[in-house]
Amino acid sequence: MSGDKLDLLPAAGIATVKQHPRSSWRCLVLVASLAIVIVFRCTNFWQSLPVTQLRHNDAKLCPQSDPLYPERHAELWKSLGWDFDQDAFTKRAVQWLGGAVRVPTESYDDMGPVGVDKRWEAFGPFHDYLVQSFPLTHKTLSLTKVNTYGLLYEWKGSDNSLKPLQFAAHQDVVPVEPKTVDQWKYPPYSGYYDGEFIWGRGSSDDKSGLIGILSSIETLLEKDFQPTRTIILSFGFDEEASGIEGASSLSEAILEKYGEHSIALLVDEGEGFGEVEGSIVAIPGIAEKGYMDTRVTVSTAGGHSSVPPPHTSIGILARLLVEFEANPIQPHLERGTPIYSNVQCLGQHAKDFPAHLRALVRTSVHSDRALRKLEAELIKEKRYRALIGTTQAIDLVEGGVKTNALPEEAWAVVNHRIATQSSVAAVQQRDTEILKGLAKDFNLTFTAFGSGISPQDSPTIGALTLTDAWGTALEPAPVTPHSEDSAPWQLLSGTIKATYNAHRGLEGADNIIVSPGIMSGNTDTRSYWKLTEHIIRYNHHNERDGGGLVDNIHTVDEHMLAESFVEMIRFFTTLILNVDETNRF
């Protein structure tokens, strides 16, 4: 290109041309082509970037702690590890959990107060079983029974200046539907062990957690371990019915003795670990979605059905419910939310995470456009869609008493699981707005959550009322700190990795990824927010080996893999020892 000079300015990434009059158009074509090539190659570079290189460039997207093995208690930990690897210990663990399953402890949504409803008495035999099975625990730890059946254990540490470690679990299980008993592989309260799995209601949710904690403590006591830091156990008895009688009362007792923000770390039931996008990923829950049941009630005049109005209360209710389902709450992925943190971790570390999504994860940190593209991709999957946004499900409906009588009232309940970035008030406002137009169209007075919304000037045919169905609305849980600066999170992450490695005879830091996650449901931790900001919902068991929570809780053939249960005990033990060695929190 005689007479032309091309100057590249690397610092600015810009090309400038000193043009010869005869060839300016050629230079423009060259520069445009060069720009297209650079953009194309850069785009494909990020999309095809290996996960190891991405880790190097964006290490802070999802920092990982190293495995944390006990040091001061190293010999004790090694001795316990040898015990856990023996068949004799597995047999013992199976007996502990199987025996707990054999004591039915069902809780129901309609149970009356403790002392009035006789069904609570089922927990008495379970308490007897615990005393018999864990003698050293009951000899050493103090036990207070709160509201009769709540169990509050305290293992006093030697240093009162350290905040206690708290473990939570629940004694109750969901009822077994009588019609399904014949469908179980083994009777639902048999606690049967087939050489691989322990079968029965509660074997996974959540007697594995409760018995796992007690098994760990009993084993530590057998080795003459005494904690430096106090350890508290709080075992509710109606978690499956919102914890109103159990965890709520236990929380009040702990607050009365220790005060607000008095707990160093609280660990309750949650998800475990399993293979995700080609990597093993543990997902401790750092938050829970909120909860609200909106009751939609339509009231109209009664009368004989032979002279019906254009719309009965049931017909109007049906139209209102169609409006709900025709207008689902749109999910939106937001930075700083637990599910965004989870996706960042997968994009950063998971081996088989899709390349185009990995590029979007990286750029979405600063680009709103990339964030919206990432959102659009994720919500194509049912699981992500449910976790990202506020959900709605019409679960109950009732109306009418007789075929020849016009129904004077019809009602339905719409269940909402509220996104962490939303609120009860926002959902109430949305439900109100979506039905306001139909209330006017049907000439109904409209009252929503105690406020008159659209009273009519002329006589109306009836009323539309929205209420909190049971008075149990719950805000989304506070998000647990999970940065590099959060000592409790880093200790828990290191403990997960150490437990995973030790159980498999592995070494190194990269065998399992620890990623923040979110619970789609609610646990007893809803009652413990005032005790600490460091709440983790996690049970260290393999979700993909047939022994996890994913497929078999609350249904036929609930079971737990014996090996997974032993690994849970190892996790609780390692966590107790690691927490006992730190004074960082």
**Residues classed as catalytic:** 172, 239
Q: For strand 165-170 and strand 265-276, is the pairing parallel, antiparallel, or unpaired?
A: parallel
By CB atoms closer than 10 A (0-12, 13-18, 19+), residue 272 is buried
Measured distance CA(68)–CA(90) in Å, rounded: 24
Q: For strand 290-300 and strand 409-418, is the pairing parallel, antiparallel, or unpaired?
A: antiparallel
Model confidence at 270: pLDDT above 70: yes
Measured distance CA(21)–CA(19) in Å, rounded: 6
Give the least confident one: 38-42, 197-201, 286-290, 515-519: 38-42
Q: Residue 521 has what pLDDT?
A: 83
Fold match between domain 74-269+521-581 and domain 290-329+390-476: no
Q: Residue 236 has what pLDDT?
A: 98
| Count of beta carbons in the 10 Å neighbourhood of residue 410 | 22
| Domain layout of the chain by residue ranges | 5-48, 74-269+521-581, 290-329+390-476
HSE-up of residue 256 (Cα within 13 Å, Cβ side): 8
pLDDT per position as a tens digit, 312-329:
999 999 999 999 999 999
Model confidence at 15: pLDDT above 60: no
Measured distance CA(25)–CA(29) in Å, rounded: 6
Q: Residue 17 has what pLDDT?
A: 39
Model confidence at 551: pLDDT above 90: no
Q: Residue 40 has what pLDDT?
A: 44
Q: Residue 2 has what pLDDT?
A: 38
Measured in degrees and rounded to the nearest 5, phi and psi for residue 132 equal: -70, -40
Q: Residue 479 has what pLDDT?
A: 97
Model confidence at 548: pLDDT above 50: no
Model confidence at 29: pLDDT above 70: no
Which residues participate in the annotated binding site?
A: 170, 205, 240, 268, 554
Q: How confident is the model at residue 520 (pLDDT cuts 50, 70, 90)?
A: confident
Q: How confident is the model at residue 519 (pLDDT cuts 50, 70, 90)?
A: confident
pLDDT per position as a tens digit, 365-416:
999 999 999 999 999 999 899 999 999 999 999 999 999 999 999 999 999 9
Model confidence at 280: pLDDT above 90: yes
Measured distance CA(397)–CA(302) in Å, rounded: 19
Domain 290-329+390-476 fold: Alpha-Beta Plaits (3.30.70)
- Provide CB contacts within 8 A for 403, sequence distance 6+: 305
Model confidence at 585: pLDDT above 50: yes
Contact by Cβ (8 Å): 57, 348: no
Q: Residue 28 has what pLDDT?
A: 53
Question: Which amino acid belongs to residue 583?
Answer: N
Q: For residue 409, what are the CA distances in angstroms to 164, 316, 329, 405, 463? A: 52, 10, 27, 11, 10
The average pLDDT across 343-368 equals: 96
Long-range contacts of 140-143 (CB under 8 A, 24+ apart): 140/221, 141/217, 141/233
Give the least confident one: 176-180, 412-416, 453-457, 555-559: 453-457
Measured distance CA(138)–CA(539) in Å, rounded: 23
The average pLDDT across 90-114 equals: 97
Which residues participate in the annotated binding site for Zn(2+)?
A: 170, 205, 240, 268, 554
Residue 345: which of 294, 422, 286 has the closest Cα? 286
DSSP 49-111: --HHHHHHH-GGGS--PPP---STTHHHHHHHHHHHTSHHHHHHHHHHHHHHHTS--B--TT-
Q: Residue 32 has what pLDDT?
A: 52
Q: How confident is the model at residue 43 (pLDDT cuts 50, 70, 90)?
A: very low
Q: Residue 553 has what pLDDT?
A: 85
Model confidence at 356: pLDDT above 60: yes
The average pLDDT across 432-455 equals: 94
Average per-residue pLDDT for the chain? 90
**What proportion of the chain, given as a percentage, has pLDDT over 70?**
88
Q: How confident is the model at residue 273 (pLDDT cuts 50, 70, 90)?
A: very high
The average pLDDT across 195-206 equals: 96
By CB atoms closer than 10 A (0-12, 13-18, 19+), residue 418 is buried
The average pLDDT across 237-257 equals: 97
Instruction: Answer whether 0.85 is exceeded by the pTM.
Output: yes
Element (H, E) at 37: helix 24-48
Q: What's the CATH architecture for 74-269+521-581?
A: 3-Layer(aba) Sandwich (3.40)
Measured distance CA(285)–CA(517) in Å, rounded: 5
Contact by Cβ (8 Å): 140, 221: yes
Model confidence at 531: pLDDT above 80: yes
Q: For residue 104, what are the CA distances in angstroms to 125, 171, 380, 462, 562? A: 9, 10, 40, 47, 20
Residue 538: which of 505, 582, 500 has the closest Cα? 500
